[in-house]
């Protein structure tokens, strides 16, 4: 497969240079997200957290209005719009002033279109643009897209964790979705791929994907890795969800060492610091 033509990601009006690992800071404006659910439902708290993440070194801010943790119930379109759009309108200028693109984590084409109109320049879709109308919503904009692998649906996905070889199965799926995007006129320089840690995967599957991440990087697209505070970190460390920062930072470094271009994290400051040290050791 051909390598991506340039070392930059085009996100609407932003051009992100991928010459160092980037930190995507997560903010969920939901009552039920597994790590930060309920903490940022108030618009002012959410806005403050985004500003804090910008100060801590977030290169991209990812806003989510629907929890996708294992077993999560779906969120209505109206609720998701109501959670995400007012926040986007509030943070757009501060993010633009720092050249930081806003990504919106959604599976719904209506939310994608509204988010892009309100200033989002990346769509982060755990469903890899498979919903009817999702591909068009991104294609007709200049937004970037993160295509993630997921087996089944969040409500039931842990029952679908069956693979021939998890790494080759995930790579084949992502290659097919990226090709579908390119065929729909989404340029290669607007596409990011993500193996979807924890989405219909056991601890062993997640570890295999992390160990062999280079096989997915070989597809030639920038990779995003989201392991932050997930249950695999909990199983490996024996820690509760609010006590998984050190394990999450270690996982982020392991992902970057194996080719991840972007790490999606809740602990922006700590991850950014760890990456500074890691890069210095690498001589970068």
Query: d(Cα 255, Cα 162) in Å, to the nearest integer?
Result: 23
What are the tokens at 195?
């193996």
Q: Which is nearer to ligand HH2, 2 or 120 (CB)?
A: 120
What are the tokens at 215?
């096989």
Selection from 251, 253, 246, 259 nearest residue 280 by Cα? 253
* Cβ at position 122, least distance to ligand HH2 in Å: 10
* Cβ at position 251, least distance to ligand HH2 in Å: 11
Binding site for ligand HH2 (CB under 6 A): 26, 28, 30, 33-35, 64, 67-69, 105, 124, 126, 146, 148, 194, 196-197, 224, 226, 264
Which residues are marked as active site? 230, 264
What are the tokens at 250?
């270690």
In the bound state, the residue with its beta carbon closest to ligand HH2 is 226
Phi, psi (rounded to 5 degrees) for 181? -65, -45
- DSSP track, 156-185: TGGGG---SSHHHHHHHHHHHHHHHHHHTT
Q: Does residue 64 sit in helix, strand or coil?
A: strand
* Cβ at position 228, least distance to ligand HH2 in Å: 7
* Cβ at position 199, least distance to ligand HH2 in Å: 7
Q: Which is nearer to ligand HH2, 69 or 177 (CB)?
A: 69
Q: Which is nearer to ligand HH2, 109 or 200 (CB)?
A: 200
Phi, psi (rounded to 5 degrees) for 5? -70, -25
């Amino acid at each position: 497969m051909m390598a991506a033509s340039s070392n930059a990601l085009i996100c609407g009006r932003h051009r992100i240079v991928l010459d160092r690992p980037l930190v995507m800071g997560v903010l969920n404006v939901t009552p039920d997200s597994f790590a930060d659910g309920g903490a940022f439902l108030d618009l002012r708290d959410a806005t403050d957290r985004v500003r804090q993440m910008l100060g801590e070194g977030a290169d991209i801010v990812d806003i989510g209005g629907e929890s996708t943790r294992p077993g999560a119930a779906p969120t209505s379109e109206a609720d998701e719009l109501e959670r995400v759009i007012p926040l986007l309108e509030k943070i757009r200028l501060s993010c633009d002033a720092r050249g930081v693109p806003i990504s919106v984590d959604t599976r719904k084409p209506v939310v994608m279109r509204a988010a892009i109109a309100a200033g989002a320049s990346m769509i982060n879709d755990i469903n890899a643009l498979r919903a009817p109308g999702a591909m068009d919503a991104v294609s007709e904009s200049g937004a970037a897209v993160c295509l993630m692998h997921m087996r089944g649906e969040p409500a039931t996905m842990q029952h679908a964790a069956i693979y021939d070889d998890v790494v080759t199965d995930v790579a084949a799926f992502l290659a097919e979705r990226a090709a579908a995007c390119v065929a729909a006129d989404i340029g290669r320089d607007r596409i990011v791929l993500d193996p979807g840690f924890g989405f219909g995967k056991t601890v062993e599957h997640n570890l295999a994907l992390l160990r062999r991440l280079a096989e997915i990087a070989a597809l030639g697209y920038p990779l995003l890795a989201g392991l932050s505070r997930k249950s695999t970190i909990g199983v490996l460390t024996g820690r509760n969800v609010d006590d998984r920062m050190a394990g999450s930072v270690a996982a982020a470094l392991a992902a970057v060492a194996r080719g991840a271009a972007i790490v999606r994290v809740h602990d922006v400051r700590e991850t950014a610091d760890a990456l500074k040290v890691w890069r210095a050791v690498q001589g970068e």
